[in-house]
Amino acid sequence: MDQPPEEDSFPRPASTVHKPRSTPFVLRPTRLGLAFLGLILVTLVGCINYALGLGYAVTFLLGGVWVAAAAHATRAGRAVTATLDAPAEAVAGTDAAFVARVTSAGTALTARVRVWTGRRRLEVAARVPAGETVSVPFPVPAPLRGTLALSRPQVAALDPLGFWEARHALPLPEPLTVFPAAEMDAPPPPPHPSPGAGEGSGRTCGDEDFVGLRPYLPGDSPRQVSWRHAARLGSLLTRETDAPAGALWSLDWADTARLTDPEARLARLAAWVQAARCTGASFRLTLPGVTLPAGTGEAHARAALALLARQTPLPVPPPPVRKAVRPSPAVPLPGAPLRFTLFALAVALAPAALRQPVWVTLLAAGVLGYRAARTVRPLPAPPTLLLGLAAGVAAALLSARYGTLLGREAGTTLLVLLVALKAAETRTPRDARLLALLGLFVTLTHFLFGQGPLVAAHALFSVLLLLAALAVWTAPGVREERPLRASATLALQAAPLAALLFLLFPRPDGPLWQLPVQDAARTGLADQVSAGDFAHLAQSRAVAFRADFAGALPAPADRYWRGPVYEAYDGVRWTQVRVRGPAPSVEVSGPAVTYTLTLEPSGRPWLLALDTPTALPPGAFLTSAFQAVTLRPAASRTRLAFQSRPARLGLRENAVRLAFDRELPSGDSPRAHALGASWRGLAPQARVEAALEFLRTGGFTYTLSPPTLPERDRVDVFLFGTRRGFCEHYASAFAFLMRAAGLPARIVGGYLGGEVNPGDGSLTVRQQDAHTWTEVWLPGRGWVRVDPTASIAPARVNAGLMTALLHPTAAAAPAPTLFHRAALRLDALQNRWNTWVAGYAGPEQRDLLRRVGVGRMGAFLSLAASGVLLGLALLPALLAARRAQPTDPAARALHLLTRRLRLPRAPGETATAYTQRAARHFPEQAGILDDVLRAYQLARYAPDRNAEALRELRAAVRRVRRGRKR
């Protein structure tokens, strides 16, 4: 049968233009990439549950980095090519010196070349500059003589962070014959006298007498080449010589009979062959069932060693032993990358020092510092038992301090300790990469405590450092030249996708589950009130909430932000109660006020609202005490929309509640009780005025530092003794007097006033604005707000707390200073940040969609947009899969043949060369492969290319039986 011509020898139709074929590759995430994706999913669930707007931003940035890394890996996969060159020979018990030659055609890249020997995977890494070829030694262990067969050779091009790899299959190297190891200090071979010694008789191959010339064969010694004839004839000729048979080395299996181990006998014969090889002596090798004729030279020695390597029975490798404990690596981690990783981790952990116990910070810093010092000096590694003991003791101390390990403060503090202790036992590149991933997770936990611009700046810097730390561990022994530049480039490329996901990803209106969230910061409001509770809060300028009004701001006298209502009094404390019965009446009047509150996290169920809320956020309701509460307290900053209207509350009130709100402890504060009882003969409104007049004319002082009141008769001591107090002193005493006068009364906690920001018109209410007032039920009017503090310090209502303390009767606050105006502008920027970044949630998203004209689509549009963005995220993998299939139908059929045979096609290998190589691997299918080649050439290059030829090619490929995985 005529040999089919090569591909390039076929004439091609003039109208057909074929582009150079790119080598097929498969794009897949690495184990690190899958772990990184898992981290993204975990943090996304946390952001959804706790409504962390800034957490969404960082999570989507990491997701965009994951997608951008796939694009980089795709580009590297198109540029990389590689070959795996086998060594000339290999000896048992040593490493076969394979050489991987990796070439990058367009971009600098990191590549991994890997093969499998049995179940063991071997891998080497290389950093390849753009347009260059790098040769990397690839030692393959060859423990036993015989044939060393490699399987599944491939080269994988990585992205800068090692999240993705583009895998190319490499041509399968021919099996390598592993020679037996020569015996050390072997005795010389025994002499064998030649029969019929004498001139002209008993001669054999040797190097003494010239016999003639023959064509040169590979392996012939250059000393035997006749260079004179080669110069005259133009071809290489080798001189043949012989020697008397007595000078021949006769290496016989029987000469090693004293050795009982067959491998030891082969090792001695190998030593004799090597000795003959070194001295150039002629030898003959006799083995059971086979004899190698006498000869000399390199080729003859290799043929002898190959016979020894294939001598049966072949040695059986021992079964693999599974070790229970992973041994420590013999080579320590490189110091510079590990120090950089520890520095990035320290930056990620730094903000926790502001809120965790000092001993935790010192312990974490000491552990990280000691691990960094071990990269410079040979210090001993801490025992694993000691690290475990330290973790247990730390957990016990934290549990004793916080009362739990599941809360926000306790959980994050314990996480910091565990990450630091993990750094102490870092031994492998895998451990170092895990440290970087843990650092990313710790970075996102900081958003549970704050989401301001400074926190965002730290998070961005920390993320860039930790991604750069991943880049330095892309491949063992190979580092990215500029890791921080690589991480910054990927972050910039990821920013557009991250911004789209941040704007369009659906935001649920409630958490997925509830965990105990401890809040070290006081919210200003508590479940109970006693004299002195609010005084210390007046010195806190922490923001409680911000209010943005749709119209004009309410007047200062109407800025009472209603919170918990306290009705039960035991002589010391006022607490909340739940009264069963019919709901009280609400009769609204006046214009509606629409506003949005940005609430700081408090962990409390109540919401703050102006009297009286008529429209509440989803999931909120109004209690019978007209208090807005929610079933799911927000664990993070939350934006909620309200609507309030003036109203008369409780004209039809539950009689049980009214009776309860008249009760006083028996025998408590008799003087105050008698004073209130003396007003019972007056009209209800007159009783209120009498009590206010008593406070206005009684010499009372509004102060932040009132004297401590006793547990017994404290109202008497305050009204007739100290006469110095804060808002809760006056509210408690006034409610006591009203109940003594026969009127139902209760205390309402909340906030009063707020600071108007001229920059954006918002109202900032701080913790120092926490306030209490009273409500008195009057017939025909219902519950009426009465603020006794306003009788003592009217400036508390009109001008704010600080003015009221200095000038209690002032009508307005003084003009703000230059510094104060600058602080207000900064606060306006903070409010915008909270609205559109930290507090960007479902309502803001829906509002944004309405502004761009697609608000009617609602959640469906958000889900559809998320699906489109998810498709964009998977686009690199889809493009890589499409790129792996050739565009020409005939070439695609040939590619399918390589998949069926599990025998990859080498770059640049013609169809003829490939089918010939495949026929050597699968001789039983040689005829079918010839049919495939003929059909391929007709379908690809014939002038009259038609569908029939292509169908024949596909049918021929389907007849090929699938090869076993190699």
Compute how many other C-beta atoms are within 10 angstroms of the C-beta atom of residue 403. Answer: 12
Q: Are 543 and 839 in contact (CB under 8 A)?
A: no
**pLDDT at residue 557, rounded to an integer:** 87
Spacing of C-alpha 835 from chain mean position? 27
| pLDDT exceeds cutoff 90 at 922 | no
**pLDDT at residue 512, rounded to an integer:** 64
Any idea which of 231-235, 358-362, 369-373, 743-747 has the lowest mean pLDDT? 231-235
**pLDDT at residue 470, rounded to an integer:** 94
Known catalytic residues are: 727, 771, 787
What CA–CA distance (Å, rounded) separates 899 from 914?
Answer: 13
Structure tokens at 74: 């795709």
Domain ranges of the chain: 7-21+886-959, 23-86+98-138+153-172+431-509, 203-309, 340-374+388-424, 528-818
Backbone phi and psi for residue 581, each to the nearest 5 degrees, phi listed first: 140, -175
What CA–CA distance (Å, rounded) separates 263 from 256?
Answer: 11
Q: Are 156 and 167 in contact (CB under 8 A)?
A: yes
**Cis bond before residue 612 (omega within 30° of 0):** yes
| pLDDT exceeds cutoff 60 at 916 | yes
Instruction: Please tell me which residue, 349 or 314, carries the higher pLDDT value.
Output: 349
What pLDDT digit, counting tens, does each position of 71-90 carry? 899 899 888 999 999 998 89
Return the sign of the alpha-carbon dihedral for residues 788, 794, 799, 802. negative
**pLDDT at residue 106, rounded to an integer:** 79
Structure tokens at 682: 């007056």
Instruction: Please tell me which residue, 46 or 525, carries the higher pLDDT value.
Output: 46
**pLDDT at residue 885, rounded to an integer:** 57
**pLDDT at residue 739, rounded to an integer:** 96
**pLDDT at residue 610, rounded to an integer:** 94
What pLDDT digit, counting tens, does each position of 845-866 carry? 777 777 776 655 555 555 565 5
Backbone phi and psi for residue 358, each to the nearest 5 degrees, phi listed first: -65, -35
| pLDDT exceeds cutoff 80 at 474 | yes
**pLDDT at residue 855, rounded to an integer:** 56
What CA–CA distance (Å, rounded) separates 270 from 262?
Answer: 12
| pLDDT exceeds cutoff 90 at 438 | yes
Backbone phi and psi for residue 243, each to the nearest 5 degrees, phi listed first: -155, 160
**pLDDT at residue 2, rounded to an integer:** 39
**pLDDT at residue 17, rounded to an integer:** 33
Instruction: Please tell me which residue, 546 or 857, carries the higher pLDDT value.
Output: 546
End-to-end CA distance of the chain: 31
Instruction: Please tell me which residue, 461 or 501, carries the higher pLDDT value.
Output: 461
With H, G, I as helix, E, B as strand and everything else as coil, classify residue 410.
Answer: helix
What CA–CA distance (Å, rounded) separates 550 from 357?
Answer: 44
With H, G, I as helix, E, B as strand and everything else as coil, classify residue 446.
Answer: helix
What pLDDT digit, counting tens, does each position of 119-150 carry? 788 999 888 988 899 999 999 999 999 988 88
| % of the chain residues with pLDDT over 90 | 37
Mean pLDDT of all residues in the chain?
Answer: 82
Mean pLDDT, range 770-796, rounded to an integer = 92
Mean pLDDT, range 934-945, rounded to an integer = 78
What pLDDT digit, counting tens, does each position of 186-198 carry? 888 887 654 444 4
What pLDDT digit, counting tens, does each position of 707-731 carry? 888 888 999 999 999 999 888 899 9
Say which DSSP state 365 is in: H
**pLDDT at residue 841, rounded to an integer:** 76
Banded model confidence at residue 10, pLDDT cuts 50, 70, 90:
very low
**Residues 6 or more apart in contact with residue 352 via CB below 8 angstroms:** 360, 361, 412, 413, 416, 442, 446
**pLDDT at residue 330, rounded to an integer:** 47
Banded model confidence at residue 14, pLDDT cuts 50, 70, 90:
very low
What CA–CA distance (Å, rounded) separates 865 from 581?
Answer: 49
| pLDDT exceeds cutoff 50 at 18 | no
Any idea which of 143-147, 273-277, 297-301, 579-583 has the lowest mean pLDDT? 579-583
What pLDDT digit, counting tens, does each position of 559-581 carry? 999 999 999 999 889 999 887 77
What CA–CA distance (Å, rounded) separates 678 from 740?
Answer: 9
**pLDDT at residue 876, rounded to an integer:** 55
Backbone phi and psi for residue 128, each to the nearest 5 degrees, phi listed first: -110, 115
What CA–CA distance (Å, rounded) separates 832 from 483?
Answer: 34
**pLDDT at residue 12, rounded to an integer:** 38
Instruction: Please tell me which residue, 19 or 689, carries the higher pLDDT value.
Output: 689
| pLDDT exceeds cutoff 50 at 826 | yes
| pLDDT exceeds cutoff 50 at 3 | no
What CA–CA distance (Å, rounded) separates 215 from 286?
Answer: 27
**pLDDT at residue 866, rounded to an integer:** 59
Mean pLDDT, range 736-752, rounded to an integer = 95
Say which DSSP state 606 is in: B
Instruction: Please tell me which residue, 718 or 894, carries the higher pLDDT value.
Output: 718
